[in-house]
Amino acid sequence: MNNTMSLLLLLLGLSILAMNSTAATTDNGQFIYTGFAGANLTLDGVATVTPAGLLQLTNGTSALKAHAFHPDPLHFRDLPVAGGGGSGNGNGNDVHSFSVSFVFAILSIYPNLSSHGMAFFVSPTKNLSAAAPRSYLGLFSNKTDGDVANHIFVVELDTIQNTDFMDINNNHVGVDINSIRSVRSYPTGYYDDGDNGNLKNLTLNSHEPMRIWIDYDQETTRIDVTVAPLEISKPKRPLGSVIYNLSTVLTDSAYVGFSSSSGDIDSQYYVLGWSFAINGAAPAIDISKLPKLPREGPKSSSKVMEITLPIATAMFVLVIGVIVLHLLRRQLRYAELREDWEVEFGPHRFSYKDLFDATQGFKNKYLLGSGGFGSVYRGVLKSSR
Ligand SMILES: *[C@@H]1O[C@H](CO)[C@@H](O)[C@H](O)[C@H]1NC(C)=O
Ligand SMILES: *[C@@H]1O[C@H](CO)[C@@H](O)[C@H](O)[C@H]1NC(C)=O
Ligand SMILES: *[C@@H]1O[C@H](CO)[C@@H](O)[C@H](O)[C@H]1NC(C)=O
Ligand SMILES: *[C@@H]1O[C@H](CO)[C@@H](O)[C@H](O)[C@H]1NC(C)=O
Ligand SMILES: *[C@@H]1O[C@H](CO)[C@@H](O)[C@H](O)[C@H]1NC(C)=O
Ligand SMILES: *[C@@H]1O[C@H](CO)[C@@H](O)[C@H](O)[C@H]1NC(C)=O
Ligand SMILES: *[C@@H]1O[C@H](CO)[C@@H](O)[C@H](O)[C@H]1NC(C)=O
């Protein structure tokens, strides 16, 4: 009795654990999304979750904003203390170390131009209705840009060079504090551990999924940003490191999310998976379980046709040819020869087919002899035997 009870309790506990691991959880300021199907994100603007489970930030229509937030606020200074006991005011406490990783993809109709970019950010509010679209990425506006009251930390993936904001190129990763003008930015790339740590360039708008890690360290106030192609594990050396004390920026309770805004070029910004942790490494994302990017254009589907269509056509022609040949042979084999004298003496004759059948195809076994009129065979007529 006692045993069954504890077994039931164990099973109940296990099933609760299993339920928790499929959805994102916020216990201890940690969560993971492996795809977003059924996820409880807070979306606004044109942000949507596709049926495949991709978080799609823009949809191709110009000058629109998109935001997607983890629904619950996180505590960057005060961690909720397990076992109760009020933690008092956290205003004097430093911002904890935190770690973010996510998988994204940028698909633009042009090979090296897409608008305007996307960003991961931490914000005290989910209400960014006053922010401007286009180059402000839906995060700031000409009124709020640079204001310390924003309390916003951003890592931008910028695909347009905007000289007003001193952008270095049209393919950079930038660390921004309270402003769309980056504190530091880096041409997108990674230090390849498989090649003596040499720097390899990456193209943000490559239509391929890529992974990014953002790690903040409380002790050193260092922000490390690392990017890599999806199949490559986290490179040892980050693409960029910025020293900035985020304790002077972030509020204790803040939201984490993604932002994007469209320009005039039809570009899609997708997030495939996302994980986050305070005081620890962001949980590893199982890349084999991520949703697939949409198939692009008629190219890939016509590729199948390109190969199968000629084969099918060739097969069809071959089959028709064989049938025609067979019919022709049949026609020749049973061809009738009509002689002039027949017209006079009436139609008393055996068809060639009947003679052929009667002699089983003029087999030698039925050959009686050969003479001036030709060969003479013995045969049994089917009709009269
Ligand atoms: C994008 O979303 C907006 C707002 O929902 C809509 O008006 C527009 O038609 C959409 N564009 C495309 C290309 O689906
Ligand atoms: C989604 O998240 C919001 C904010 O935390 C919460 O109020 C709501 O109950 C959640 N919905 C579901 C279905 O979990
Ligand atoms: C796009 O790439 C082409 C060559 O591939 C180059 O000539 C052009 O300058 C590039 N445009 C931008 C905006 O980088
Ligand atoms: C969002 O902020 C704007 C001003 O920035 C305000 O007018 C609006 O009422 C706010 N919306 C909500 C839901 O708080
Ligand atoms: C700020 O942006 C608004 C709306 O986009 C625009 O009307 C206004 O002229 C801008 N102001 C400045 C100083 O650029
Ligand atoms: C990599 O990118 C940098 C900066 O954009 C450029 O100077 C360099 O030539 C590129 N290297 C290669 C191999 O393309
Ligand atoms: C960061 O700033 C906070 C608040 O100003 C301060 O208490 C803390 O000592 C700073 N940390 C470092 C490492 O300088």
Ligand 6 pocket: which residues have CB below 6 Å? Answer: 169, 187, 201
Ligand number nearest to the C-alpha of 31: 2
Ligand 5 pocket: which residues have CB below 6 Å? Answer: 132, 142
pLDDT digits (tens, 9 = 90+) for 193-231: 999 999 999 999 899 999 999 999 999 999 999 999 999
Report the separation in Å between the CA atom of 167 and the middle of ligand 4, taken as the mean of its atom positions. Answer: 30
Percent of the chain at pLDDT exceeding 70: 82
Report the separation in Å between the CA atom of 132 and the middle of ligand 1, taken as the mean of its atom positions. Answer: 18
Report the separation in Å between the CA atom of 66 and the middle of ligand 4, taken as the mean of its atom positions. Answer: 16
Domains and their CATH numbers in the chain: 22-299 (2.60.120.200), 306-384 (no CATH)
Q: How far apart are CA 357 and CA 375, in angstroms?
A: 16
Ligand 3 pocket: which residues have CB below 6 Å? Answer: 112-113, 170
The answer, yes or no, to whether residue 124 has pLDDT greater than 90, is: yes
Task: Please write down the HEC assignment for all residues of 244-297.
Answer: CCHHHCCCCEEEEEEEEECCCCCEEEEEEEEEEEECCCCCCCCHHHCCCCCCCC
Ligand number nearest to the C-alpha of 132: 5
Nearest to 186 by CA among 212, 221, 229, 157: 157
- The CA R_g of the chain, rounded to the nearest whole Å, is 38
pLDDT digits (tens, 9 = 90+) for 338-384: 667 666 665 556 777 887 888 888 788 887 777 766 777 777 877 77
Report the separation in Å between the CA atom of 71 and the middle of ligand 2, taken as the mean of its atom positions. Answer: 7
Ligand 2 pocket: which residues have CB below 6 Å? Answer: 40, 71-72
Percent of the chain at pLDDT exceeding 90: 52
63 lines ligand 1 (CB under 6 A): no
49 and 41 Cβ atoms separated by less than 8 Å:
yes
Q: How far apart are CA 74 and CA 258, in angstroms?
A: 15
pLDDT digits (tens, 9 = 90+) for 40-98: 999 999 999 999 999 999 887 888 899 999 999 999 997 554 444 344 433 348 999 99
Report the separation in Å between the CA atom of 110 and the middle of ligand 7, taken as the mean of its atom positions. Answer: 45
